[in-house]
Structure 1
C-alpha cells in the first residue's frame, strides 16, 4: 500500500465526504487508513527492540496521541512547549514525558509553580525528564532544584552531528556527569542525540550512510563516558533516545540506542517526502472550498496587459479564489494547481491557478498537503477523521489555558485561540 501517487478520484471522493458531513470551511483531514498504514510501518521498526516516544508537537491532539499510544503500546511522549506540556499531563496523566528542547530555568520554575497549584496524578520526579544541553544550564537547574527541594530527572542533549547545540566537548560532558553523580537533587535519566541532518548529507561528502555511521560512533563515545563515570549499571537503565521522522527506519537494533522518537512520519507532510519514508503514505490534508471560479483573471486596472500576459502564458486562463490560504502547504488537487502571483498572498481569499478544463467547480473542495504538521494542525480547529470514506469523528487540537485561568494570566502572549481558522482576516 503506497499512496504517494494519489489520483484525482481520491480527492473528489474525499470532497464528497466533506460535503456529506456538512463541512463548509477550511478543515484539516486525517485519513485513518493511511494513518494506520504508517503506524504499521513504524511498528515494524519498534519490534526490532526499541521503546517508542511520540513527538507530541507534531501531532498536537489528545485523541490522536491516545490513538497512537494504544496502537503502539507506548505511554512515552516528547513535549517542546511548557503550556502544551501542562495540557498533556492534564489529559494524559499516566504519560512519561521527555522535553524535546532545553528550557530556560524560568520555564522550569513556571512549570513547578503551576504543578504546586494543580496537584494531580502526574509525578514529575519520576514521569518527567528535563533536557539539558550545557554545563551552565545544568548548574542553573541544580541550584533551582536545591533551593526548592525538588528532584529533577535530567536527560543530556548530545551533539552527534547536527550541530544544533548540546554537549560536544567530552570534558564538559564528564563534568556534567560528575555534577549529576554528586547531586542530591538531580539524577541522570538518559541521553538524547538528534540526527535530522542524516538524510540531507550529499553523496559528495559521504551521503546518509556515512552520516549515520558517524552519528552512532559519536553517540557511543558519550555512552562510554557514562559507563566510565557512573558505571555499567547506570547506563543499562538510561533512556538512550535518538531518531526522528526521516531517520527512524535506519535503526536496525537496540544495542546502542534503546528509544526512537518520531511523529510527523505518521501523517507524512511534504517536508518528509524523503527516501527513508517512501513506504509511508500522506495521511493529512487541508481541504478548503473554492469560493470563486474565475475565467481569464485580470490584473486590477490592466485588462489589456492581462490579456497579453495570458497570450504569452504568463497569466492563467482560469483561477480560483479559495476560502482562506497562505498556509504552510502545497496544493495537491486539482493536479497542477499553483498559487497565482497576480495578487500576492492572502490569508482570506488566496488565488490559485487551475487548469481551464478541470471539472472542479465553485463550492467544491480544493486540497493541500501541509509542509509540516506541528504548526499547521493548530490552525483549523477540530481535525476531521476520515474512516473508509466517511467523516467518522472530530479530534480537538491542543488548547492553551482558558482566558481568566491562573495559568492564562501568566501566559498572556500565548492566550489567543490558535484553533481559529487562518482564513480569518
Structure 2
C-alpha cells in the first residue's frame, strides 16, 4: 500500500509539473502588421527594411510640441533621427532649425543640407575632427560656420586646443561649455572649475561663448527612494549654480545665452517644472524605440519597425538534439518551428507575429537570424517578420533608407544620412 501511495504521489507530481509547461504564445499577425505583410509581399524589395509610420510620427511630434508649449526651444537630435528627409520633415512640422550633432561627417552633411541651421555639438569633438569639418566644407555654401556652429568644450585642455584651431584657421569659433549636473560623464565639474575656464576666456578673443550644456539622463533612471522630481530639482539647482558663476563674467556672458539640456527621457519634466533651461534636445521620443518605454513617454507611440523576409520556415529541431525535438516541442509549443530571417543581430525584439523569440539554445546570427515559435503563427517563407528596435541611434546607419508608411500604405523613401 505504501509503495502504491508513493507511486500515486509521484504521478501527481509529474502531472503537476507538466501543467507548468509554457503556454502557446503564438498568434498570427494582427490587423496592422497583416496589412504591412501584404504590402511588403507585393511591393517589398525582398531585403530587410526599416519602416517609419508617418501617422505615428506626426502624433509624437504634435504631442511634443503641445507639451513644450512654446516655453522651450526644441533642438532635434541628429544621431537618433539620422535621415535628411526625416530631419527636414520634422524641422518643418516642429518649426525649428536647431540640430544637435554627435558625429563630424553628419555635421558636414547637415551644413550642406540646411542653409539656416543652428548646429550644436552634442559631445566634445577631438580637435582633429573639428579641423576635418572645415577642410571638408565646400566654400560656395550659404551656410556660415562662424555663425551657425557651436563647438562643445568640456575641459580647459580642450579649450586651449580650440584656441589653437581658431588661430590655425584664422577664424572665430563659437563654443558652449559642458557642465556636469550629476551625470558624472565629464564636463566642468564645479562652478569654480567653470569660473577658471571663464577667466581663461577673457584672454581668448578667438572663442565666443554661446552658453552652457548640461545633460541629465540620470534623472530618468533615478532610484525610487529619491524619485525623478527630486533628482530633477537637484540637477537644476546645480545648473543654476553654474549659471550664476558664469554670469559674473558680464563681458563674456551673452545677452541671450544658450541653456541646453534635457533629452527624450526628461523633456516632459522640464516642460512641466519650468527649469533653468531655455531649450531641450529631443530625438528618440519621436520614434519611440523600446528602450524609451517609460511612464514619461507613455503617450508616445512606437513609429519605427524592422521588417525582414522569412527565408525558411522549418521544424524547430536543434542540430545536436534532433531526437529530443518531439519532447522539446511537447513541453514548449513555442519551439515547434524555426524561422530564419534575411539578416539579423539587430538591437530589436520580434513583435509580430506575437510569440516569436530568439533561440537561446542556438544563438544569434547577423546573416540568417533564427527565431522560434509555434505553429499558431502560421508563418511561411512568403511572409515577413516585424521587429521593434530598442534604439534608433546607430540603427539608421545600418540601413540605406527608410520606407514610409501613411495610413498603412507604403508611400515613399528617405535615405539615411550615411547613405543619402
| Alignment match of 1:39 (pick from 35, 54, 61) | 61
Question: Which residue in the other structure is 1:277 paired with?
Answer: 297
Distance (Å, rounded) in 2 between the aligned partners of 1:45 and 1:188: 30
Match of 1:202 among 219, 223, 246: 223
Match for residue 196 of structure 2? 175
Please point out which of 249, 253, 278 is paired with 1:234.
253
Structure 2 partner of 1:412? none
Q: SS where residue 230 of structure 1 aligns? A: coil
Question: Would you say the 8 A contact 2:260–2:277 is kept in 1?
Answer: yes
- TM-score normalised to structure 2 length: 0.89
Residue 151 of structure 1 and its aligned partner are, at CA, apart by: 0.4
1:373 is aligned, of 388, 392, 405, to 392
Higher alpha-carbon deviation: 391-400 or 355-364: 355-364
1:90 alignment partner, one of 107, 112, 115: 112
Matching of residue 220 in structure 1 with residue 240 in structure 2: yes
* Alignment equivalent of 2:172, drawn from 137, 146, 151: 151
Task: Indicate yes or no: 2:25 matched with 1:25.
Answer: no
1:314-355 CA deviation, whole Å, 9 max, x = no partner?
Answer: 981122111111101011111121101243111111111122
Q: Does 1:162 align with 2:183?
A: yes
In 2, the alpha carbon distance for the partners of 1:255 and 1:371 equals 29
Pick from 129, 132, 144 the counterpart of residue 110 of structure 1.
132
Which segment is superposed worse, 102-111 or 177-186?
177-186
- The answer for the alignment partner of 2:84 in structure 1 is 62
CA distance in 2, matches of 1:181, 1:261: 29
Aligned to 1:72: 94
CA–CA distance in structure 2, aligned partners of residues 303 and 22 of structure 1: 35
Q: Is the CA contact 1:160–1:219 (under 8 Å) kept in the aligned structure 2?
A: yes
Counterpart of 1:51 (choices 60, 68, 73) is 73
Whether the aligned pair in 2 keeps the contact of 1:11 and 1:333 (CA below 8 Å) is yes
CA contact (8 A) 2:334 2:373 kept: no
* SS state at 1:57 partner: coil
CA distance in 1, matches of 2:275, 2:370: 53
Contact kept? 1:38, 1:280, Cα under 8 Å: yes
Q: What's the CA shift string for 1:252-300, capped at 9, x where partnerless?
A: 36562111110100000011011110010000000111111113x2222
CA shift digits 1:64-92 (9 cap, x unpaired): 00000000110001111111111111122
**Counterpart for residue 284 of structure 2:** 264
Matched, 1:244 2:263: yes
> CA–CA distance in 1 between the matches of 2:394 and 2:240?
34
Q: Which runs of 5+ in 2 are unaligned?
A: 1-28
- 3-state SS in 2 of match to 1:182: coil
Residue 355 (structure 2) aligned to one of 336, 347, 354: 336
Match of 1:406 in 2: none
CA deviations 1:129-154 (Å, max 9, x no partner) are 00011111111111221243220001
> Unaligned regions of 5+ residues in structure 1, if any?
1-6, 401-418, 420-425
Pick the aligned partner of 1:292 from 297, 312, 318: 312
The structure with the larger Rg is 2
| Higher RCO structure, 1 or 2 (CA under 8 Å, sep 6+) | 2
- In the aligned structure 1, how far is the partner of 2:142 from the partner of 2:281? 25
Deviations 1:85-128 (A, max 9, x none): 1111112222110001001111122222223x544211111100
Look up the SS of the partner of 2:55 in the other structure: helix
* Aligned CA-pair RMSD: 1.9
Superposed CA deviations along residues 144-180 of structure 1, whole A, max 9, x for unmatched, are 2124322000111111111111111222210111222
